[in-house]
Amino acid sequence: MNQLTEGRKPQTKRARFNSLLAFFNFAKNNLDPDLINPCDSPMLRKLFRVKVKTQFDILEKETVDEIIFRTSIIRNRLMLELMARGAMRIGEVLTIVPNDVAERKILLREPKSGREHEMIFIPQKVADRLKDYIKTQNIGLHKRIFPICYEAARSVVLKAGRLVGIHLRPHDLRRHAATFASRSGVPLEIISKIILRHSNLSTTRSFNYVSSKF
């Protein structure tokens, strides 16, 4: 099976496994009741099982607005806004420096995709607040804007969610940004390539980042 399916997509591997499974079951039921189906084993079934898509609760705009409004610490509020309005991953937020910020754009160096860099677009009001924060905190051009660790940033998100009585995860905010764009009529291709910066469209679909109409 490994040789027959080497280099193939997971769905192709599962289809070929199921065909072999059905073939041996047919032979057993119609030709030889004592035949042992080599595909009928817990290990192989687990290896070629269909993956169930995880369904996520999508945060409504009103809930996200309330989360951000109730967060009183400016630094934490900005981090939440960059995730919820700019679809940034929490790790990306922690890496940016003032030199990466220009107008409504944030240059992301060494992104997850493996590209040399990516460009993130944020709303004008968020950009203005970010620049004001950099100025008032007197952050150097090459110093991290949010110099905290990953676990501390996750804690910020969890505490923000508790303010409105929900269990909030960092990726919920990124998912909200994509869903809000989708419901506003932004084409899926733009959401995938520009907002989420996925390498291919299937990733956007498979993880339910956008509203169900897609």
Residue 78 and residue 93 in contact, taking contact as beta carbons nearer than 8 Å: no
State how far the Cα of 117 lies from the Cα of 108, in Å rounded to an integer.
Answer: 6
Phi-psi category of residue 19: left, alpha or beta, with phi > 0 → left and psi -120 to 50 → alpha: alpha
pLDDT, position 28: 81
129 and 179 inside one domain: yes
The pLDDT of residue 192 is above 50: yes
Question: How do residues 21-66 score in pLDDT, each as one tens digit?
Answer: 888 888 888 888 888 888 777 877 777 665 555 455 678 999 999 9
Which CATH number belongs to the domain containing residue 192 in this structure? Answer: 1.10.443.10
Evaluate whether residue 194 is within a structural domain: yes
The CB density around residue 65, as the number of other CB atoms within 10 Å, is: 12
State how far the Cα of 59 lies from the Cα of 166, in Å rounded to an integer.
Answer: 10
Question: How do residues 14-32 score in pLDDT, each as one tens digit?
Answer: 777 788 888 888 888 888 8
41 and 66 inside one domain: no
Residue 160 and residue 71 in contact, taking contact as beta carbons nearer than 8 Å: yes
**Overall residue count recorded for the chain in this entry:** 214
29 and 93 inside one domain: no
Evaluate whether residue 96 is within a structural domain: yes
Residue 97 and residue 142 in contact, taking contact as beta carbons nearer than 8 Å: yes
State how far the Cα of 201 lies from the Cα of 214, in Å rounded to an integer.
Answer: 11
139 and 37 inside one domain: no
Full-prediction pTM beyond 0.85? no
Q: Give the count of domains, the chain.
A: 2
34 and 136 inside one domain: no
Evaluate whether residue 108 is within a structural domain: yes
Name the residue range of residue 40's domain.
2-47
Phi-psi category of residue 7: left, alpha or beta, with phi > 0 → left and psi -120 to 50 → alpha: left
The pLDDT of residue 213 is above 50: no
Residue 68 and residue 81 in contact, taking contact as beta carbons nearer than 8 Å: yes
Evaluate whether residue 167 is within a structural domain: yes
